[in-house]
Amino acid sequence: MKIFSIAIHGGAGTLVKGMMTPELESRYREDLKKALDLGYNALKVGKTAIDAVEIAVKSLEDSPLFNAGKGSVFTANESHEMDASIMDGNTLNAGAVSLVSGIKNPVALARDVMDKSEHVFLAGEGAMQFAREMDFALEEPSYFYDEFRHKQWLEIKDTNQFQLDHSVKKDSKFGTVGAVACDQYGDIAAATSTGGMTNKKWGRVGDSPMIGAGNYANNKTCAISCTGSGEFFIRGVVAYDVACLIEHKGMSLLEASEEVIHKRILEIGGDGGLIAVDSEGNIAMPFNTEGMYRASKTSLGEELIAIYS
Ligand code: ASP
C-alpha cells in the first residue's frame, strides 16, 4: 500500500498575544485534531483524497473558532459572505463558489459545482440558486452569529477599513481553513473555505475560491491550500506557482513551497502560509506569520498539531 497523508490548516497568523488563553488554545487543538482524524480515518478505510479533504474542511467549517462556515466573519452589511473551492488532482476537476450566504458547508456546495454542474465557479445569487436546486438547507443568520466576531466588526463598521480575522494589526491573523490529502492510490486533492475579511464590501473575493491562487491540485506536482492576504495571493497565483516550480524547475515539494512563502510572496508584499502534499505523501506547511493553525498525519505514524512556529 502507498503512503497516505493529510494536512489541514485553520489560518495563518495567530490570535493577538494576550488573547490566547490555555483554555482557548486547547479548544483550537481539539478542533484541529477532530478534523484531522476525520480526514485521516477516511483515507485509512480507502476513501479518496477528494472525499477526505471535503470531510476535514466540513469539520473545520462547523467549528466556531475558524473563519469559515459557522465561524465566518461579518461583512460591512453585517452579513456573512463565504467562499470555497475544491480540486481533484487526479482528474483536474474543480469546483468553487463565492459570495454565498446561509450555507452551512460551502465546501460541499463547491463539491457539487464540480460533480453536478458543467461549470467550475459559481458566484453570488446564481450560486445560491444552484444551492437551492441541489437541496442545500439554508441556516438562519443566528447560526453564524458569534459574539467575538461581531465585536471585531463593531469596532470597524463605520470605517473604510476591512480586516483579516482576529487582527488588530493588519498581519496578525487570517483564519481561513483548508485541507490537502494524498490517498492510498497516490491521488491528491485540495480544499479551502473562508468567510474572507471582516467588514469587506463591494463583493470582495479573496484567493480562497480561486483555482490556482488559493487552491490547486494536480497529481503530477502537488495539492495546495493557502491562507493569508488574499489580494497578494491572487496576484502571486501562489498555489499554481508552487506547482510550476516543481514541474518546471524540478524543485521538491518543500523547496517550492518555501520559495513561494519565504521569498516570492514577501517580495510583492503579501504574508500568510500554505499546506501542501504530493502524490508520494510528502507534506510541507510553511508560513511567514507568527503562527499558523495546522495539523498533519501520515500512514507512517507521524502526527503534528501546532499553532506557533
Ligand atoms: N485568504 C483569505 C482571504 O483573503 C483570508 C485568510 O486566509 O484568512 O479571503
Written as one letter, the residue type at 166 is H
Q: Which of 164, 199, 226, 274 to mutate to test the pocket of ligand 1 (most atoms within 8 A of CB)?
A: 164
State residue 17's pLDDT score.
64
State residue 170's pLDDT score.
45
DSSP string of 72-118, one letter each residue: PPP-TTSS--EEEEEEETTT--EEEEEEE-SBS-HHHHHHHHHHHSS
Active site residue ranges? 176
Q: Give dist(CA 20, CA 14) in Å, integer.
A: 9
**Three-state SS for 123?**
strand
Q: How far is the CA of 171 from the centre of ligand 1 (A)?
A: 11
Over residues 18-44, mean pLDDT: 94
Average pLDDT, the chain: 93
What is the percent of the chain with per-residue pLDDT over 70, rounded to a whole number? 94
Q: Give dist(CA 116, CA 95) in Å, integer.
A: 10
State which H helix or E strand residue 224 sits in. Answer: strand 223-228
Contact predicate 67/165, CB 8 Å: yes
Q: Give dist(CA 227, CA 191) in Å, integer.
A: 12
Q: How far is the CA of 230 from the centre of ligand 1 (A)?
A: 5
Q: Which of 227, 232, 235, 274 to mutate to test the pocket of ligand 1 (most atoms within 8 A of CB)?
A: 227
**Three-state SS for 40?**
helix
Helices 106-116/49-62 angle, 10° precision: 150
Q: Phi, psi at residue 96, to the nearest 5°?
A: -150, 150
Sign for the CA dihedral angle at 277, 194, 177, 4 comes to negative
Strand 121-123 relative to strand 188-194: parallel, antiparallel, unpaired?
unpaired
Q: Which of 8, 229, 234, 261 to mutate to test the pocket of ligand 1 (most atoms within 8 A of CB)?
A: 229
Q: Per residue in 57-79, pLDDT tens?
A: 999 999 999 999 999 988 888 88
Q: Per residue in 196-211, pLDDT tens?
A: 988 888 999 999 999 9
175 has pLDDT over 70: yes
**Whole-model pTM over 0.85:** yes
Over residues 103-132, mean pLDDT: 98
State residue 164's pLDDT score.
61
- Looking at per-residue confidence, does 75 or 293 come out higher? 293
Over residues 289-309, mean pLDDT: 95
State residue 172's pLDDT score.
40
CB half-sphere exposure, 127, CA atoms < 13 A = 29
State residue 300's pLDDT score.
98
Only one residue has cell 480540486, namely 87
258 has pLDDT over 90: yes
Over residues 136-144, mean pLDDT: 92
223 grid coordinates: 495539492
Q: How far is the CA of 174 from the centre of ligand 1 (A)?
A: 6
211 grid coordinates: 483555482
Residue nearest to atom 4 of ligand 1 (CA): 230
Q: Per residue in 149-174, pLDDT tens?
A: 888 788 888 777 666 654 444 434 56
Residues with CB under 6 A from ligand 1: 11, 67, 164-165, 174-176, 194, 196-197, 206-208, 214, 227-228, 230, 233, 272
Residue nearest to atom 7 of ligand 1 (CA): 227
pLDDT band at 43 (very low <50, low <70, confident <90, very high): very high
Q: How far is the CA of 1 from the centre of ligand 1 (A)?
A: 36
State residue 173's pLDDT score.
52
Q: Phi, psi at residue 57, to the nearest 5°?
A: -70, -35
Q: Give dist(CA 203, CA 201) in Å, integer.
A: 5
225 has pLDDT over 90: yes
Q: Give dist(CA 43, CA 33) in Å, integer.
A: 15
Written as one letter, the residue type at 235 is R
Strand 94-100 relative to strand 121-123: parallel, antiparallel, unpaired?
parallel
Q: How far is the CA of 118 from the centre of ligand 1 (A)?
A: 27
Contact predicate 72/65, CB 8 Å: no
State which H helix or E strand residue 243 sits in. Answer: helix 238-249
115 grid coordinates: 460533480
Ligand 1: atom nearest CA of 233 is 1
Ligand 1: atom nearest CA of 196 is 9
Q: Per residue in 227-252, pLDDT tens?
A: 999 999 999 999 999 999 999 999 99
15 has pLDDT over 80: no
Q: Give dist(CA 36, CA 53) in Å, integer.
A: 10
Domains in the chain: ranges and CATH: 5-308 (3.60.20.30)
